[in-house]
Structure 1
Amino acid sequence: MTNGDLKSLLVLTLRDPAQVARLLIGLGLPMSARWMALLLAVSVSGLLAWLAGQIAPVPEELRTPFTDAISQPFAMAGMQFAAITVAAALMAAVGRVFGGQGRFEDALLLTVWIEVVLLVVQALQILMMLVLPALTSMLGIAAIVLFFWLTVQFTKELHGFTSSFKVFVGLIATAFALGFVLSILAASFGLLPEMPQ
């Protein structure tokens, strides 16, 4: 895939994400290539996050072990690798529970592509930090909206669903359920901060 093809695919992702999902799935990439694409994407994202941290460091009074961890490129990349893998597994598994036919292999490829698209937004955010810092937060909000929109559209195409609203509700419900489970695990391992008496 050339740079021109990549740019065209990025533009088409914004115009017709369903078609892009079909194109990506139709490539028939081997599983090793999909994992390699994920590794490359999260590595670039980790470096961009580190660069953003150098431009606009977290104030000392707001620093936590978590913010310290994500300021390290390798730690950030590792967390994103795990998060995207889990997201792909949930995209495939939850969809199949509701009658979808999507496979994990294709869900992984689609979630990796979402990460690639968000890398462009991440790079634009860094540019905004240098040129128009006041607009950086607005771009961050746009990235969140873009993430949910692409996830809904790709999930629909992956499983053959027709209702964007139902997929969105399922996405939110899954996110809440996952957050609940993770909070229980974090509490059991003593990772949550103690409440003041």
Structure 2
Amino acid sequence: MTFEGFLRLALQTVTAPRDVARLLLSLRLPTEALVLGFALVVVGNALVFSISLVLMPPTQAMGLLGNPLALMAIRGVVLLATIASLTWIGQMFGGRARFESIALLLIWLQALSVAVQVLFTFILPIAPQLGSALVFAATAIGAYITVHFLDEAHGLNSIGKSVVVLILGMIAMAVSLSIFLSLVGFTPAGLTGHV
């Protein structure tokens, strides 16, 4: 995909998310491509975050989040848990999407997120208020796209149901992640360091 093609598809993701979801799902990418895409967005996410730490003054307590390898592991686990939760909760509501379908759509959203984070990395130090407003807008747009992606992938034909799937999926992801982290010995203090 060319840079121009990426920008065109990114814009279409905002203006016509269902069409993009249908297009992506029609590709029927092999598992190897999904694993590679997953790895790329996790590494890209951690890399951009690490660069932002260099450009902006670090917070008092970064802890593990200041370690790029730990950050990649955390991002990977969170994305995996999100994919599993949205697949499972969607199926509970009568959805038909498989894990691979949700994975593909969320990997694409993460790729867009990395691109947006690059932009924010340079805007926030120069214009913090503008940057904060853009972060809020990007979060709202991301939620809008995700709801439409879920509705299309699961075939729910209901934005309301898709919103509920997203909310319950995020709750399920947070609960399962906190249980996992406590089982492996991580605590909030371990993640953020000592204040």
Which of the five TM-score ranges fits, normalised by the shorter chain?
0.7 to 0.9
Give the conservation status (yes or no) of the 8 Å contact 1:55–1:129: no
CA-CA distance at 1:178 after TM superposition: 3.8
Residue 65 of structure 2 corresponds to 70
Q: Is the 8 A contact 1:186 1:192 kept in 2?
A: no
- Check 1:184–1:41 CA distance in 2 against 1; reply closer, same or farther (3 A cut): closer
The 8 Å contact of residues 120 and 135 in structure 2, kept in 1 or not, is answered as yes
Unpaired runs of at least 5, structure 2: 190-195
String of CA shifts for 1:61-103, please: whole Å, max 9, x gaps. Answer: xx1xxx3222222222221112111211122221112111111
User: Quick one: distance in 1 between partners of 2:161 and 2:48?
Assistant: 34
- 1:98-139 alpha-carbon deviations (Å, 9 max, x no partner): 111111111111000010111121011112024322222222
Alignment match, 2:51: 51
Is 1:141 aligned with 2:133?
Answer: no
Residues 1:177 and 1:38: Cα distance change in structure 2 (over 3 Å): closer
Partner of 2:114: 119
> Which whole-Å CA distance do the structure 2 matches of 1:43 and 1:183 have between them?
22
Question: In 2, Cα distance between the equivalents of 1:42 and 1:180?
Answer: 21
Paired letter, 2:164: V
Contact 1:46 1:72 (C-alpha < 8 Å) held by counterparts: no
Q: Who is 1:109 aligned against?
A: 104
Match of 2:174 in 1: 179
Instruction: Determine the structure 1 residue equivalent to 2:10.
Output: 10
Give yes or no for contact 1:156–1:163 (8 Å, CA) kept in 2.
yes
Deviates more, 1:11-20 or 1:158-167: 158-167
Q: Secondary structure at the match of 1:58?
A: coil
Alpha-carbon distance in 1 for matches of 2:93, 2:101: 17
Structure 1 segments unaligned to the other structure (5+ residues) = none
Equivalent residue pairs, number = 188
